[in-house]
Amino acid sequence: MNVIALPHDWSNYGEVIEGFKKKYPEIKVTELNPNASSKEELDAAKTNKGIDAAPDVFDVGQSIAATSTDYLAPYKVQAWDKIPDGQKDANGAYYADYTGIMSIGWNADKYGDISSLDDLLDPKFAGTVALNGKPAEAGAAFNGYLMANQLAGGDINNLQPGLDFFKKLQEAGNLTTVDVTNGTIDSGQTGVVFDWTYNQASYKKELKDKGVNWKYKTFPKAQVVSYYNQAINKDAPHPAAARLWEEYLYTADAQNLWFKGGANPVLLDSMKEDGTVDQATLKDAITIEGEPVSYTNDDSTRITE
């Protein structure tokens, strides 16, 4: 089975993949391009259609999922009824798996405190402020933009304040398009990053041993959330294995591994009710407070057109 765009430190995918291998030792798992964007996942399926190198499954942002149903094979996992109606395609083309909360992370020893969006226009941030990818291709970058737009006074129907802010950030010389990794953070290339809380937690953990004091924060008025989505390639070279993978991901074991990695799994409320949630993880988890900033599939389509 071929998976794609699953870095081991993204929402604890390393343990998730190992759990699947242990459950199904007869299935060889090939990991393709772990740093691919959501758009690049679909591009890989199109480019490799008809050959064994094509990805079998996808984990993509909402905007890509909603506009790519022609390339997806409908499938409803056994836990289908536990997934909230608003978090799945009615026909089973795609279904939510986990979300984080969009946040700003930074090297606190080097830059001090960050309390507002306008702080990032300070010359001390020259060439170091980054989104995690390109907004038109990567879910993390798209939602990072939406958080900045919300903080700048916009909303899902008014995206101009975000555009104005990033224009000012670029004119100030503070915006960088360097791909964000632990290495770029460690070296100082990306000193400030818009990213999901589960990625920020991973950066903080990995960089602590290197002496980097990485902090991150969410903003009450801009708690942007957006579930990533599972889907099966319509032309999957290993369709049966792909379906076993999806079934595994919607077990309490796999959902708890995502939760351990700092994400909020889609079955979290259901697991709280039936007692299968990992209590130790729940105790320290960053969870959504109040009414989050979210958007519909129709919003995604409108924004990306």
pLDDT in tens, 104-160: 999 999 999 999 999 999 999 999 999 998 887 888 898 999 999 999 999 989 999
For residues 169 and 234, membership in a common domain is answered with: no
For residues 204 and 261, membership in a common domain is answered with: no
- pTM of this structure: 0.81
- Give the end of a domain, one of 194, 222, 250: 222
pLDDT of 250 above 80: yes
pLDDT of 298 above 80: no
Predicted pLDDT of residue 85: 92
For residues 95 and 230, membership in a common domain is answered with: yes
Query: Considering the chain, what percentage of its residues have pLDDT values greater than 90?
Result: 77
For residues 111 and 213, membership in a common domain is answered with: yes
For residues 168 and 276, membership in a common domain is answered with: no
For residues 139 and 189, membership in a common domain is answered with: yes
Query: Considering the chain, what percentage of its residues have pLDDT values greater than 70?
Result: 97
For residues 125 and 215, membership in a common domain is answered with: yes
Confidence of residue 21 (pLDDT cuts 50, 70, 90): very high
Predicted pLDDT of residue 182: 79
- Give the end of a domain, one of 222, 239, 255: 222
Confidence of residue 305 (pLDDT cuts 50, 70, 90): low
Predicted pLDDT of residue 226: 86
pLDDT of 300 above 70: no
Predicted pLDDT of residue 258: 97
Give the domain extent around 68.
Answer: 2-99+226-304
Q: Each residue of 38-82: pLDDT tens digit?
A: 999 999 999 999 999 999 999 998 889 999 999 999 999 999 999
Mean pLDDT confidence for 10-33: 98
For residues 237 and 299, membership in a common domain is answered with: yes
Predicted pLDDT of residue 297: 64
Predicted pLDDT of residue 57: 99
Residue 130 belongs to domain with CATH number: 3.40.190.10
For residues 218 and 255, membership in a common domain is answered with: no
Three-state secondary structure along the chain?
A: CEEECCCCCCCCHHHHHHHHHHHCCCCCCEEECCCCCHHHHHHHHHHCCCCCCCCCEEEECHHHHHCCHHHEECCCCCCHHHCCHHHECCCCCCEEEEECCEEEEEEHHHHCCCCCHHHHHCHHHCCCEEECCCCCCCHHHHHHHHHHHHHCCCECCECHHHHHHHHHHHHCCCECCCCCCHHHHHHCCCCEEEEEHHHHHHHHHHHHCCCCCEEEECCHHHCECCCEEEEEECCCCCHHHHHHHHHHHCCHHHHHHHHHCCCEECCHHHHHHHCCCCHHHHHHCCCCCCCCECCCHHHHHHHHC
For residues 11 and 120, membership in a common domain is answered with: no
- Give the end of a domain, one of 222, 240, 269: 222
Q: Each residue of 186-223: pLDDT tens digit?
A: 888 999 999 999 999 889 988 888 888 999 999 988 99
Least confident interval from 70-79, 93-102, 115-124, 281-290: 281-290
Confidence of residue 263 (pLDDT cuts 50, 70, 90): very high
pLDDT of 29 above 90: yes
Predicted pLDDT of residue 136: 79
pLDDT of 304 above 70: no
For residues 231 and 95, membership in a common domain is answered with: yes
What is the pLDDT of the chain when averaged over all its residues?
Answer: 93
For residues 14 and 48, membership in a common domain is answered with: yes
Our count of domains for the chain comes to 2
